[in-house]
Each structure stands twice: as structure tokens, then as C-alpha cells.
Structure 1
Amino acid sequence: MSAAALLTVATTLTIPLVTKAIIDGPITDRDLGALLPLGLLALALGVLEAFLIWVRRWAQSNAVLGLETEIRHDLYERLQRLPMSFHTRWESGQLLSRATQDLSAIRRFMGFGVLFLVLNILQVTVVTGVLLHMYWPLGLVVAATALPVVWLSMRFETRYVAVSRQVQDQQGDLATRAEEGAVGIRVIKSFGRSEHVAEQYEAAARTLYATSMTKVRLTARFWTFLEVIPNVAVVIVLATGAIGVGKGELTPGELVAFITLLLSLVWPVASLGYILAMGQEAMTASARILEIFDTEPDIVGGTRRIAEPRGHVRFEGVDFAFPDAGPDAGPVLRGVDLEIRPGETVALVGATGSGKSVLTALIPRLYDVTGGRVSIDGVDVRELELDHLRSLVATAFEEPTLFSMSARENLTLGRADATDAEVEQALEVAQAGFVHELPWGLDTRIGEQGMSLSGGQRQRLALARAVLAQPTVLVLDDTLSALDVHTEKLVEEALQRVLSGTTGLIVAHRASTVMLADRVALLQDGRITHVGTHRELLATVPAYADLLGSDADPDLEAVLDRAIDEEVRA
């Protein structure tokens, strides 16, 4: 690529010199015989120049697109490694802007700006040297035009950097509003706030427009001056060159070559502003992307693996506080001690905001403890390889996340090698057979965030995904909250069989869900205050009965047991 670019510059400089030889030789001497070979040489040089440009652009595009692909891969991999604390701080639109617009700005500069910046500087330097050699007075005129260009470029750079960063940040804000408007369209429409949200988007768009126009005015003034300077130089050269020809200090061929070479400098000089603008945008984009790469993940995997996992989970003196919480916020969890034996299921009950979801997130290390430790089979989870740990633990969340892919792909996300029979078994457990009624069955694309499904359907599909992973530890974070009573009963009956072969931790708000557990842990103010069976806590802990409300029926367990027995016998 570099060789092709240098040969292109050499060819561009050679053609005017051949033109000089034609004018001062065959044309002046009226020698038609010598005109043909020089004309063919000029034609060959033109064809060679076009071919070299094609080679340069092909090699350049191939290299730059490969670089962009690698950066995009590394950026996405980095985002996957960064902890939940990072993703809760950053708006998705800002991340999207960096992964698309900023990478495009870097690609444009690397694919066009860098090469032409070097080539244009080289071409200006060489051509100016040739012009000084041909006729030094005119060469000095051309060289003098570089001074105002350098001065303007330095002034332009300082102001453009600030405006360019502002535009890119506002593009990220606008992307966030657009994404939120698309994802939350049902809420917006249900509250009749479409006009209000549209006004907010319009205000952000107008802010971006105003800043972008400031950027346009800045670059327009700069490019205008860069266009004027070489054109003024051309006028001076024409006037001075004509005088030189009249005095016999220049030949007509030298004047034509001089003007041709000078005109070849118009694009390198005038494009300097465009290239500098691209460079500043690329620098700003690089700084924005480096903000992500410079963020060190605070959750780093260990090196250990558990050869034969049994699923013995222990919380030992666990404390947790959010990293970005203020000094007055206080810890979410304080001195939590809880043991879940292999094959046992424990229900976690507590008021809203008591830290139940945080506690479950500590097992797969979505967050790390700030005190104490969480262990599986006696091994601190911080010592385990992250991929290995997260293959041992599967979580179904209250707010399930589904992706814009097929139902089958969503199901097998945690276990790509699952057989059709295993998929069907997981669907049966989660009572998610509705997927077969979709237009293309399991191959139906369910849309972004699964918006084409109801809340209960999304929960059941997410539950089937967790069950299909066949984990050693299954965490259910209030996964059945969106199900109707009949469906919930069927799911719970099937879950009884699944949980009998795995260690389970269930966040529960209803007594019917608590019945899935062997024991119940009551979480109050960040502490486990009571552990026992459902009956024991109902009888001895008034706060427990208050949390379950009308579901807190001492006879409910017996009723459910009879219903399950009847279902099994049937």
C-alpha cells in the first residue's frame, strides 16, 4: 500500500515534466516524429497512475476494515468483562454511540486521513522543491503559502476538539432517548405520553443540531481560507510567470509545468482542513473508546475449578454495599450467614429493598461481596474461573431479558448443545408450550426484549432457559410473579421435580412459592434474622406472616401437598 501510494505521487509529479518536454521539444521544434513517443509516455503514465490508485485503495480498505473489526471485537469483549457496577452507571446510548459512530470516525481517519496526510505533506514538500529548482522566485511564493496554513490549522485545532467532543456526547444522549423510546413504547402509549416523549427527543435533537451547526460554521471558515490561499498563489504565479516568459527567464513549457505542478498542490493544501477535522474527530472518538478500555474490571476470575460439584452454598459473614453509593447510603447486606446444603432448596423472603436480589447476585458474582465470602463446595467463588462458576449457577430473573433472536436461540443461550428432547422437557417444566403456537414454532423470532410476548410468557421462557442449563445451583429471583394462579401451580409442580436434583435458592413473595423450599430464610434490614420451615416461621415470627399477607395460611402447605400428590397419581 505504501509503495503504491509513493509511486502514485511520483507519477503525478512526472506527468507535468513530460508535458514540459513535449512543449519545449516537439511542439517548439515542430518535430511531429518525436511527439508520438512522448505522448504515448504521458498516456502510459496516466494509466499507471489510475492503476496505482486502485491498488492503494483496495489494500487500504482491506487493512482498515480489518482494524475496525478487531477494535469492535475487543470493545465488545471488554464490555462483557466489565462488571454490573459499570453497566448501571453508563447509559446504553452512550455505549452504542461509541461502538458505532466513534468506531466509524476512527475508520474514516485511518482509512483516508492518515495516508493522505502523509502523502499530501510529502507531495507539497517535493513539489515545492521542484518549483524552487525550476524558478526560485515563484517557488518562494508557493513556499510562503504554507505559513498562513500552519497558523490557521493551529487555531482551528483547539476550538474543533471541544466542539467535536460535545457533538459526539450529544449523539450518545440522543441515541439513549431513541432506544428508551423504542423499548418503552408500551409504557409511553399506555400513559398517553407520546407527545411529551417526542418533545424531549426533539429538544435533544435541536441541541445536537445547534452544536453541529457551530461545528459546521467553524470548519466552513477554515476550509474557505484554505481554498483562498492556493488560488491566490495561482494568480500570483500566472502573473509573475508570464513576466518571466516575456523576459526569457522561463520557457513556455516550464511555465505550463510550473502551473500544472502548482495546481497539483491545490487539493493537498485545501484538503488539509478536512483531514485535520477527521483527525480531531478520530482523536475524540479514541478518547471516548479508551474510557471503556481504561476501566479496569473489578471482578476478575480465579484459576480453580470444582471437579465434581455438589452445590453446597454458604454465605459467611457477607457484607455488601454498592460501589457508587454515597457515604450515607450504608451497606445493603450486613453479616449474612446462610447455608444451603447440596440438593436443598431455600426460599428467601423479605420486604422490598431488603437486599434479596443482591444476595442472589453474589453467587454468580454479578457483584462481589465487600466483606465475608460466598463459597460453593467450600471454595470461595472469587477463586473459581468465571466461566466455570457461571456454568454451575443459572439464574432466572423477575424481569427476564430476551434477545431479538428465535425462541430456540433464547432457550439454548446457556447450553448450546441441548437436544430437542431436553428443550421440550425444559419447556414442559416452565409451562412454556405456547412457543409451539407461534407462527414458526421455536424458530420464531420473538423481537427485541421479547416485546411480542406477554410478561408471563417472557418469565416462563426465561425459566425454561435456566432449567435447560442443568445447573448445579438454580437461582429463581421471584421468577413466577407474572404468572396466573393456575399456571403458577403447574410450574411449581414441575419445579418440585427439577429442584429435587439441584441446589435451589428462591426469592419468594407468596406462600405458594415458599412451598417449593425445604427451608425459609427471612431477610430483614440486610440480615438473615430467622431460618426454618414455613410452618415454624408462621408460628413464631409475626413479621414473616405479615410479609406473606393473606397467603400466610398454616393449612396451605397441606392443601398444596394433597394437590401435588393427586397430580402425580393422575
Structure 2
Amino acid sequence: MKSQPSGPGPESVSRDPVAAGAGTEPPPRPLRALTAPVRGRLTVAVGLQAVAALAGVVPFIAVSEIADRLTATAPADGDDLWPPVVLACAAGLVALVCGTAAGALAHVADNDLQLALRRRLARHIGRLPLGRLTERGTGEVKQAVQDDVSALHTLFAHTLLDVVAVLTAPALALAYLFTVDWRLALVGVVPLALGVFLFGRAMAGAATQMAEFGAALGRISAAAVEFATGIAVFKSFGRGRKAHERFVAATEGFADFFSRWVRTTLVSSTAAVLVVAPAVVLLLLSVAGAVFVTQGWTTGAALVPFLLLGPAVAAPMGVVGPRIQQIRAGQAAAVRVTELLHAPTLPEPAHPAVPDGHHVRLRGVSFSYDGRTDVLSDVDLDLAPGTVTALVGPSGSGKSTLASLLPRFHDVTAGTVALGGVDLRDIPATELYRRVGFVLQDVRLLRASVADNIRLGRPEATDEEVERCARAARIHDRVMALPEGYATELGTAVTLSGGEAQRLSIARALLADAPVLVLDEATAYADPHSEALIQDALSALAAGRTLLVVAHRLSTVRSADRIVVLEDGRVTEQGRHDELIAARGRYATLWDAQSSADDVREGSAR
């Protein structure tokens, strides 16, 4: 077995990456904390909306007063009628001005809040461990940055003012009606009380349902992103139907959940809306008023304000359902945004150090995702500069997890991963990613030109350098076949197959020129032709660099300088291909199994 250089490395240490990057706990009231920068303006907007709502009731009161004066025993003259007329006009103007100002101020405050939140999210997401983003996918980020911030917009720019209006105006109307005739006022309260009772029954358990509602939308969001980004890969293998199965399953699951929720609340919620409907309230007050007038308990003029304002007393219950849903949706969105903003970031070193060379050494490395079960246990490994080390093993053995530690997608639970004699946790992120690059099986391409996608690691690179790397990655000919060559924008009408995207990412890695590279199943999505091209590209990429390769097809790594076999998170064998075959251990078993499977496939093809 060919030995690797060894020597004394950094002492094995145990650090808690979660504790190191967690910071403070999320605030107990996320909604209040998020709105702190604009709370003053929102408070003024609420006050203006309340004034507008109160002023909007005054014209109806003025009309009632005019009716009362016109039907009085002594006929009213012009001097008696002008004051309520002027009052109605002035109140209408106040309602218009204050309502417009409230809406404008709330929207300006909300716009500033959205901008601030998206900036905070962008900064924070940029500091999250890459492993968190690759594990949970981009659905969580998309939901927070787009859907949740939009839900907060609805809450602050619209729902907040609507709630103030539907609560303030009925309060003034009811207070006035009690001064006119307290008995009819009580009749007008009956629909409101009944609506509150029925709506309370309909909303029983709503908090749990809204949580599931948000979770279901999150699953749809994640599945939609996966569908959009993966459709080209699936279609390139003739499996277009598979591409949308998870998305369809997520939408069907949401539909089933929502249907069950609607069925359990349909009767109560429908009855709650019906009993407070303006026509129903007006009919009730008309019948009760007619009885009162015929019995001599009140006058016809006294009935006017009840017919004008009575329906407004119960009006809040007619719109309270959607408003409560919007409030709960906003609260849930605030919780998710706050949780993402307080997610542990990648800890930056207190005393930054610069590596001396590019020798990679793992000592006593253990790792656990949940803090309880180790995925890797006591791994020792050396990657000498200029060599290729392949990680192989059965599915679930920890290959990708081990590879993810080198570009610091995660921090080790115990032990050290050192580059050039320096613990990765002591190397600033910008310095680390200048020295460590990676090509993953799930390639992410930006919605930008081909050249800009290749330049991602070196934005200042010239066109000649971009083309040189594309040629080395065996993707130049495919790029030149695109409508605008290197200026073609990806992600619109132009998409690349999985193998082509892999070669483009290899060109990107070549241009970045990192001396240490991690390749995780780089040929996973490639057809045989693309795989051959990718292997040629990888040969160009490996020249003069230190490579750590995660391989499923053992034939692709038989020439590696060292092959490391992982089982259950532990290194069980390591050596060159011929040495491992001769040892007749686990590697030899895997090789024989794959060789037999390849022979069967070749026979079937014939």
C-alpha cells in the first residue's frame, strides 16, 4: 500500500459549531422585533386610519340628525339644517385626506421594511454554512425572501389598516345608536354576537391548521424550485414524468389538507357570514323598527340612523375571517423569517491564520447532523498536494458528508480538518474558498450568460481565459452552438443537460484555479458520451491539484493515487486499486459487483 506523507498535525479538538454561530436566541415576539425600524410610521398610519374611519361615520350621523329635524313637530329652517350639512362635508373631507395619508404612509413604511428585510436576509444567508443550504434546498430561502416578505407586506400595508377601520367605525356607530334608542341598539347587536359565536366555532384549532398551512406551502415552494431546476436533467434521461411527481404530490397533499380544513369549518363559517350580512341585519332592524314604531315605542325619524348605521355594527364579522387568516399568515411568516435570520452562521475565526501550503490532514474527525448519531467516526486521512484521493463505499457510508467537510459545508463535531497546517475554522472564508473549490453533482447555474457563469469564481477573467477553460472542460463546442455563444443567457429559453452543466461547472472550477478541489459524484447525471467528456475535463482539472473525489462508479477512480473505502462512517480500507483488489476486502467485493452489473448491461444492449 502506497503511504502518504504523515506528520504531527494539529491537536484533535472538539468545538460546538452551533453554539459558536448561534448568537442570540430569536426574540419572543418576532413580528414586533421585525417592525422595530418602521413602528413609528406604522403607528401614525394606524392613528390616521382610525381618524378616517371615525370621520367616515359622521356623515351618516349628520343625515340622521337632518331627518330628525325635518320630521320634528316644529319644521326646521335653513339655519337648523346647515350645521349638520357642513359637518357631513367636513367629515367626508377629513376621512378622504386621513385615509389617503394612512395608506401612503403604511406603504412607504412597508416598502422600507421589505427592503431592509431582504437586505438582512441576503447578508445572513451569505454567511450560512453551505451545508445547510444544500441539505434544505433553496425552497426555504425562496419562501423567506419572497413569500414570507410578501405576506408581511399584505399584513402591514393592507390588513393592519383594514382591521383598524372595521373595528373603529362600528364602535362609534354603536355608541351613537345607544344614544338614540338603547333597545333597538341591542337588537342590532344580536347579529354581531351570533356571528362572534359561530366564527369562534369555525376558528377552533386555527393556530395548528395555519401552521400546517404554512408548512404545506413551504413543501410546494421547495418542490416547485426542485421541479424548475431539475426538469432539464430528468428530460435528458427520458424521465420527464419523474420531474413533476414530487411537485404534484406536494400540491395534491396541500389540496387534501385544505379540503379537510374547509369541510370541518364550512357550516360554521358560512353561518357566521350570513348572520352579519348587511341584507340580513337590515331586514332584522326593519322588522324590529316597524314593531317599535307601530307600538309607539319610537318614532320613524329615530329608525333612520339604525337603517343607515345598523349594518355597519355587524360589518367586522363579515370580513374578520380573511383578516385573521392574513394576520396569522403574517405572524407565521415573521416566525420563519426570524428563525432564518437567527440560524447559526459559519463562525469566523477570532484569530485568522493563513495556510502554509495545501496539504490536507484529517485527524480524529467525527461528525453528527443531529448531535446524537455520528455519521463519521474517528476518521484519519491525508491528502498530499498533487494527488487524487477517491472516497468509495456503499450508499449511506458517509462519503459525501466527509467530502463536505473540506470546503467547510459543515464544521466537524470532533477532531480537526487542517489545510496547510491550519484548522479550517481558523481560516477566513474568503481565503478558504480561494484555496478550496468544489464541483457537486447537483450543479447550480445562474440566470446569466454562459461567460458570467464560468467567471463566477474570477469575475475579472478575460474572454480568452474563459474560452481556454471551456475548451479544457470540453464544453466550448456546445457553447458555440448556442444562439449567442458565450453571451447566451442560461435559464430562459436555453437550458443545458446534466452532463453539460457539469462540464460548465468544471470550466468554472478551472478558471477559479483553486489548488484543492472536491468532486462529489461529478458524473452522476451524465450519459455515456457526456461521462467520457467529463472524464477528459476532470483530467485537465486534476493536473497539479489536490483532488478529493467521491465516486459511485469505481471504474472512474481506478487510477487514483489513493482509494479510501468508507463503511458506516469509518475508514475500513485504503490503498491503490491493484492493492485493494489483491486484498480481497470490501473494495474488491464492490468492484466485482459493479463489474458483473456492467457485463449484464452490455449483454442486454447487444
Shorter-chain TM-score tier: 0.7 to 0.9
Cα drift, residue 209 of structure 1: 5.4
Separation in 2, partners of 1:64, 1:237: 46
SS for the counterpart of 2:276 is helix
Matched to 2:159, the amino acid is G
Query: Higher relative contact order by CA 8 Å / sep ≥ 6: 1 or 2?
Result: 2
- Matched with 1:211 is 260
Matched to 2:157, the amino acid is G
TM-score (normalizing by structure 1):
0.76
Mapping of residues 42-191 of structure 1, within 5 Å: 42-71=88-117, 74=120, 83=129, 90=136, 103-142=149-188, 146-175=192-221, 183-184=230-231, 187=234, 190=238
Where do 5+ consecutive residues of structure 2 fail to align? Answer: 1-44, 596-606
1:345 aligns with 2:390: no
| Cα deviation 1:214-261 (Å, max 9, x = unaligned) | 2555532322233377446633663366469x67x6683x54345433
SS for the counterpart of 2:362 is strand
Mapping of residues 250-261 of structure 1, within 5 Å: 252=301, 255-261=303-309
TM-score (normalizing by structure 2):
0.72
- Matched with 1:4 is 48
- Matched with 1:476 is 519
- Matched with 1:558 is none
SS for the counterpart of 2:204 is helix
Separation in 2, partners of 1:454, 1:144: 66
| Cα deviation 1:32-66 (Å, max 9, x = unaligned) | 57756764653454344334333222222333344
Separation in 1, partners of 2:239, 2:498: 18
- Matched with 2:11 is none
- Matched with 2:475 is 432
The change in CA–CA distance for 1:193 and 1:344 in structure 2 (over 3 A counts) is closer
Separation in 1, partners of 2:363, 2:461: 35
- Matched with 1:313 is 360
The change in CA–CA distance for 1:40 and 1:92 in structure 2 (over 3 A counts) is same
Separation in 1, partners of 2:580, 2:135: 40
CA contact (8 A) 2:70 2:76 kept: yes
- Matched with 2:273 is 223
- Matched with 1:270 is 318
CA contact (8 A) 1:4 1:53 kept: yes
CA contact (8 A) 2:457 2:508 kept: yes
Cα drift, residue 72 of structure 1: 5.1
Separation in 1, partners of 2:206, 2:463: 58
Cα drift, residue 462 of structure 1: 0.6
Cα drift, residue 374 of structure 1: 0.2
1:381 aligns with 2:431: no
Separation in 2, partners of 1:510, 1:548: 7
Identity %: 24
Separation in 2, partners of 1:551, 1:16: 85
CA contact (8 A) 2:50 2:168 kept: no
Cα drift, residue 340 of structure 1: 3.4
Cα drift, residue 70 of structure 1: 4.4
Separation in 2, partners of 1:352, 1:93: 29
CA contact (8 A) 1:397 1:478 kept: yes
The change in CA–CA distance for 1:192 and 1:386 in structure 2 (over 3 A counts) is closer
Separation in 2, partners of 1:23, 1:128: 19
The change in CA–CA distance for 1:472 and 1:458 in structure 2 (over 3 A counts) is same
Where do 5+ consecutive residues of structure 1 fail to align? Answer: 553-570
SS for the counterpart of 2:410 is coil
Separation in 1, partners of 2:274, 2:141: 35
CA contact (8 A) 2:231 2:240 kept: no
| Cα deviation 1:281-314 (Å, max 9, x = unaligned) | 44455556666567x4385343343347632321
For residue 564 of structure 2, the aligned residue among 516, 522, 529 is: 522
The change in CA–CA distance for 1:87 and 1:492 in structure 2 (over 3 A counts) is closer
The change in CA–CA distance for 1:80 and 1:49 in structure 2 (over 3 A counts) is same
Matched to 1:278, the amino acid is Q
The change in CA–CA distance for 1:489 and 1:470 in structure 2 (over 3 A counts) is closer
